[in-house]
Structure 1
Amino acid sequence: MTTKLGDAADSLLVAELSSWDESCLLDTWREVERLRNRLAAMEHRFVAEVERRGLPFTYGARNTAAFVRALLRVHPREAVARVAAAAAAAPITTLTGETVPAPFPRVAAAQAAGTISPRHAAVVVATVERLPDVVQVEHGARVEAELVGYATQFDPHQLGTLALRVTTLLDQDGALADVAYRERHRDLTIRQRPDGSASISGEATAELAERLLTVLDALAAPKPAADGVRDPRTAGQRRHDGLLDALDLVQRAELLPTVAGISTTVLLTTTAADWSSGDGVATTGHGAILPTREAIRIAGGDTRTMTMQLDDQGAVVTHTDARRLFTETQRLALIARDGGCTFPGCDVPPAWTQAHHVVDHANGGPTTIANGALVCGHHHRQHQRQGWRSVISDGRPAWLPPPWLDPHRRPRSNPRTRPG
C-alpha cells in the first residue's frame, strides 16, 4: 500500500508540468486536492485503531494527542485537532468487534469521497456541536447534511458565514442566545510561546464583554505624543496596551488574593552579570525567556515585580523587594505635584498613571518623591524605545527628546500638569 502511494507521489514530483496543457494541469491539481482530503479520512481510521488498541497507554503517552505528536512530530495543537477530527468522523470498532457509526456520518462520507477538506469538516462539526442539546437532537442531522452540501460549493470561510445563517434560522425563539448556554461555553485560553508572548482566544459572556469594553473605552483611546503627533498604534495595539494598563491598576491596588501565601508578583530571574550589563536573558515565573533589557524595563514599572539575580552556580546573589515601589503617601505627593502623566502632550489623569523612577531603580535610583514622576502605562513602556529620557529639571519631572526631534535635547515638560 505504501509503495503504491509513494510511486504515485514520485511520478508527480518529477512530472514536467510545463508540458501539460491547462486543462490537464488544473484537473490534476483538483485530483491531488481530492486525494489530500481523502488522506484525512484515512488518518481518522488510524487514530481510531490506535485508540482501540490502547497504544497511547502502551507507549506511555499521556493521551492520544500526545501519542500523535510524538509519533508524527506535529505541533501540539495540530495533534489535538487531528484526534478531535477523528472522534467526529471515524467509525469505532469496539473490543467485541461491533462497529459504531461515526458521530458525523455525512462529514465522514464526504471526506472519504474527498469532496470536503478537514477545515470544511471542522466548521460543520463545530456548528452542530454548538447547538443546544434540544435543538441538536431535533435538527442536528439536517444541519450537518445541509452544511456538507454547502461545503462542496464554498470555501471554509464562506461556509462559516452560511453556518451562522443556518443556526440563526433555528434560533427563532432565542435558544442560542440563552444566558445559561453562554455561561456553559465561556472560555479563555492563553497559549504562551517560548519567548513569553502569547495568543489569547476565548468566548466571553455578555457581562465580561461589556466590562472589558467599558474599561478599554477609557484606557485604549489614542494618546497624543509630543508636538501633537498622531498616536501611531493600531486599534488592536491600543486595546492590548489598555488591557496591560488595566492589569497594572489592579496589581497596584493590591486587592488580588495571594498565591501560596505570596502576593501577586511578577518574578524575573537572571544572573547578576547579565543584569548589570543588560545582556543575556532572563526567565519569568511562568518559564518564558526574555532579553535581560526587556526584563529590566518591566522591573522598572510601578507594579509588584521581584528580580532574582543568581551567580554562575545558581545561588541567589541579590534580589529586589517591594521597597522599590512607591508608598501611598509618596504617590499622593506625586499626584499633588504632577497632576497626571508628565510626558509632553499626554492628558492621562493621575488615577491611570504609575509612579516612575526618573533614575531607574535598577541603576541605583532611589524610591523617593524627588526621583519620582507620574507616567501613564503607554509612555512608561514606550519612552525609552522612542529615544526619550526622563530627568528632574528645576525640581520637576521633564523629558529629553530624542536627537532626531531636537538635536540639543532641551528638557520638555507637560503644560497640562500643575505648575511648580
Structure 2
Amino acid sequence: MEGIASTLWQLDNRELVARISASESKLRQHYAEHLALLAEADARGTAHELGYSSTTALLLHILNITRGEASQRLAHATALNDATTPTGVVIEASSPLTAKKLDAGEISIGQVEVIRKFIASLTHLEPDKAALAEELLIERAAQDDPHALARYGEQIVRDIVDPDGKPPNLDESQRPERELRRHVYRDGHMEFKGRLDAETAALFNGLLTPFEKYEPDDTRGYAERSGDAFADVLQQAANCPDLPTQNGLKTEVAFTISLDQLMKAAEGHVLSDAQLTPAEVRRIACDAHVLPAVMGGESKPLDVAVPAYAVPAHIRRGLVLRDRGCAFPSCERPASVCHAHHIVPWLQGGPTSMDNTVLLCGHHHRLIHRSDWTVELKDDVAWFTPPDFVDPERKPRRNLLHRRCAASPYSLG
C-alpha cells in the first residue's frame, strides 16, 4: 500500500478521479461477496451452532461493528440473495436486480439501503408492481445519490406504481403517539424530551396545573415552576400505595463502609446509580430501605457462601457494589437488569459466593452458557476470554464502562 501511495502524486486529476471510481467499484463488488457469505451463514444457522443467539450477535464480535451496522448488512444480505432453509425451501431474493448491479459495482451501499427499504414497504402490492418499482429505482440510481433516490422513490410510488396507496387496516386500532427519551448524567441529574398524544397531554397538563400556580412573591420563572410541579406529581405517584415496587421494596440505599472505617465510626455512603452529598444521602434515606454493606480489604464487599443455587440478597448486593452492571466487555446494561452467573457451575460443585459469581445481562448470560467464551475473576475483576474465531490470540478482555472515580467517598454504585 505504501508503494501505491508514493506514486499517486504523479497522477493528474482526471486519472486520480478515475482511480477513485475504480476503487469504489471494487469495494461494492467485495460488499456483494460479503453479503453472499452473510446470507449463507444466516440460512444455515452458523451463529446458533457457535453458541450465539443470532447472526447479528455473531457479527458484533467477529467484525467489531455496531449492532445497527450488523443488522443493516444482514438485511441487505437477505434482500439481495436467495436463501435455502434447512428443509430445502428456497426463499427468493426480494431485490434481484439490485443484487446484480451491486455485484457489477454500479450502485452504492447507501443506494442498496434505499432500494431495500423501499421494496420492503411494498408488501401490499402484487410482485410485478414491486419488480417495476425496483427497475425504475435501479435506472435512476445511475444519477442520484441515496437521498435523491429516496425522494424519487416516493414520487414513482405515488404517481406510477401505487397511486391508491396502502389500504388502511380498519380492524387495528392506532397506537397512541407517545415517546420519552431521557439521559442521566454522571452526577445523577437527568434531561429528557418527548411527545404525547392529545388525550395523554390533557391528562399531563391537568396533573401539573394545580402545582404550578403563580404566587405574588414567587421568583421562579415558568419553566422552574413547571419543573417543581413535575417533581411534586412524581412524589405523589411514588407515595401511591398501588405503585409497582422493585423486589417489594421502595428505594433501596446501600451504605458502604470499610471494616477499618467502621471501627473508627467514619461515614462512607454509597447510593446505587448516583453520586450524592452526605446531606442528600440522609434525606433520601429517610424514606428508603437502608442496608449496611461492610467492605473488607481493598474495598471488597464481605460475603458468606451458602449451599444454594439461588443467589441470596446479601450476595447480590455485594455483586452490584463490585461489578456495578453487566461485567461482559463493552456492555452498558445496569446491575438492575443483570443475572448472577456461576463461574464454576453450581451442579459441578461451584459455590454460590462472591468469588464464584459475576453479574451478566440476559443476552451475555446466554452467550456464556452457549458459546466458547469463558470468564474468570482476578483481583475482583471479571476477565472474559473470547473464542478463537473472535480473536485468534484469545486475549482476555474486561468491561471498563462501569468504572468510577474511587477518590470520592460518595461514588456511583
Q: What is the TM-score when the length of structure 2 is the normalising length?
A: 0.50
Determine which structure has greater relative contact order: mean sequence separation of CA pairs < 8 Å that are 6+ residues apart, divided by chain length: 2
TM-score for both structures, normalised by structure 1: 0.49
